[in-house]
Amino acid sequence: MVLPGMALLWLTVAVILKSQPGTGPEVTLRSAATGIELSRFHSWSITLPPGAAVKTIHFDAAMPAHGHGLADQPRMRPLGPRTFQVDGVRFQMAGAWNLRVRYEDAAGAHSLSFPFEVSYSSSLMRSLWLGARGPIRADPTNRFADRADAAALGRELFFDPRLSGDGTVSCSTCHQPEGAFADGKRFSRAGVTRNSPGLLGISEATWLFWDGRRDSLWSQALSPLESPVEMGGSRAGVVKLVREAYREPYERVASVSPSAVEVDRLFADVGKFLAAYERTLQPKPSRFDRYVEELEAGRVSTALTNDELQGLNLFLSPESRCTQCHNGPLFTNQGFHNIGTAKSGGDEPDFGRAMGLQSLPYDRFNCRSRFSDDPKACAALAFARPDGHDGLLNGAFKVPSLRNVALTAPYMHDGSLPTLELVVEHYRKPPKPAAELRPLTITDQEASQLVAFLRALTSQ
């Protein structure tokens, strides 16, 4: 069976774009020579024509077909009188982009557009393979992130209901191992309005929660502890528990007595221990991975059924657009998209990412805070754009991983779709308005085959 020959964009040489003749002054865009990878930050340099005495200059990019632009706010810095570098550019979707440079000089205002195709370069199927995954993403903001002793302590804390206000709720109450660390409920507890996602592969997330209101795994782990509708605990109660019940293991890991550590810093350490454990929660290979591995080895594979293979073909096809958001070995671009799942009509709206961006600077434990072990390592927060994309991120939610998706029902940020069949139907008949969706034109049989493929992503 011949599958579409595409993969995540990876350019190992510089890309050079020049403005079109007759559209204004000749301007050159040049990518960083280290290459461009989908969903990773990179830089461009801008060279203006001789004699341009720049008063103002701005760079941005947009995908006209999808009605949105960059999810981050690039930063501009001068390299010379006519040369500027743009840092913090990140393409999270393949397709047709327009890179835009606007500047003003003595001759007036100039606006130039550079069409740029973010495409796939080799085997898309291989790029989804777990075997193609690189090392787990480092977290310099957490000094305990990859220490086995910290992960062991974090595991104890993860399953300890004493962290909660009434002593009955642990992290594992809502993130159960047998359910790929989800809990199978629409809402885990009364008062909660978001579905508990699975945690396998959560180490790769740049933003946490459905709206991305936390910027590290350890700062996210702290929020449920104090939330009155989740664990209902208190900072003082958590610290008291560590000082009394976890004194010895804390001393072994942190090399200091918990009694000698201020309350907020000790509380932050609890989040870092929980994060160290959660970083060990990684998806195992599925039958899809076995299929790709056998093809890579030049063997005929029977790991997938015919219906699953047909579903795989559909998933990979440009027409389905599945891989626009669900790409890479974890089947997610870690971005935020509006697919029409925000409440409307008589229900209270959920603004999603737009509100998440607003709350990031006010998180006492964000990765640029004094509790971070490397505040300078927070590239994502540095380029976060709090303007909400002129409203285009209203109702946008985080793209979940599709690995083990058959185990994590119900689906969407609010758990409103109980089955994979209904998820596919949502894409076949998008609600209005659904800012980024066009109807997925497939037959009932193809819809069934697509679901069959998604079930084949369950770890074996």
pLDDT on residue 135:
95
Q: Which fold has domain 136-278?
A: Cytochrome Bc1 Complex; Chain D, domain 2 (1.10.760)
Q: Residue 120: is its pLDDT beyond 90? A: no
Q: Which pLDDT band, with edges at 50, 70 and 90, does 212 fall under?
A: very high
Q: Which pLDDT band, with edges at 50, 70 and 90, does 431 fall under?
A: confident
Q: Residue 204: is its pLDDT beyond 60? A: yes
Q: Which CATH number fits domain 10-122: 3.30.470.20, 3.90.550.10, 1.25.40.10, 2.60.40.1930?
A: 2.60.40.1930
Please, are residues 3 and 310 in contact by the beta-carbon 8 Å criterion?
no
**Mean pLDDT throughout 312-329?**
92
pLDDT on residue 350:
84
Return d(Cα 457, Cα 453) in angstroms, integer. Answer: 7
pLDDT on residue 378:
85
Domain boundaries, the chain: 10-122, 126-130+284-455, 136-278
**Rounded mean pLDDT of the chain?**
89
Q: 76-90, 96-110, 259-273, 425-439 — which is least confidently predicted?
A: 425-439
The pLDDT > 70 percentage for the chain reads: 91
pLDDT on residue 8:
40
Residues contacting 366, CB < 8 A, separation 6+: 214, 215, 216, 219, 360, 372, 378, 381
Q: Which pLDDT band, with edges at 50, 70 and 90, does 434 fall under?
A: low
**Mean pLDDT throughout 263-286?**
98
Q: 133-137, 274-278, 369-373, 432-436 — which is least confidently predicted?
A: 432-436
Q: Which pLDDT band, with edges at 50, 70 and 90, does 51 fall under?
A: confident
User: Would the CATH topology of 10-122 be identical to that of 136-278?
Assistant: no
pLDDT on residue 435:
66
Q: 120-134, 172-186, 194-208, 258-272 — which is least confidently predicted?
A: 120-134
Q: Residue 13: is its pLDDT beyond 60? A: no
Return d(Cα 265, Cα 63) in angstroms, integer. Answer: 43
Q: Which pLDDT band, with edges at 50, 70 and 90, does 33 fall under?
A: low
Q: Residue 121: is its pLDDT beyond 80? A: no
Give CATH for domain 126-130+284-455.
Answer: 1.10.760.10
* pTM of the entire predicted model: 0.85
pLDDT on residue 347:
64
Please, are residues 236 and 130 in contact by the beta-carbon 8 Å criterion?
no
pLDDT on residue 460:
87
Residue 157's Cβ-count burial label (10 Å; 0-12, 13-18, 19+) is: buried
**Mean pLDDT throughout 40-67?**
87
**Mean pLDDT throughout 119-133?**
79
How does pLDDT run across 141-157, given as a tens digit for each residue? 999 999 999 999 999 99
End-to-end CA distance of the chain: 24
**Mean pLDDT throughout 395-400?**
94
Q: Residue 321: is its pLDDT beyond 50? A: yes
Residue entry with tokens 């977290």: 139
CA angle 376, 252, 238 (to 5 degrees): 75
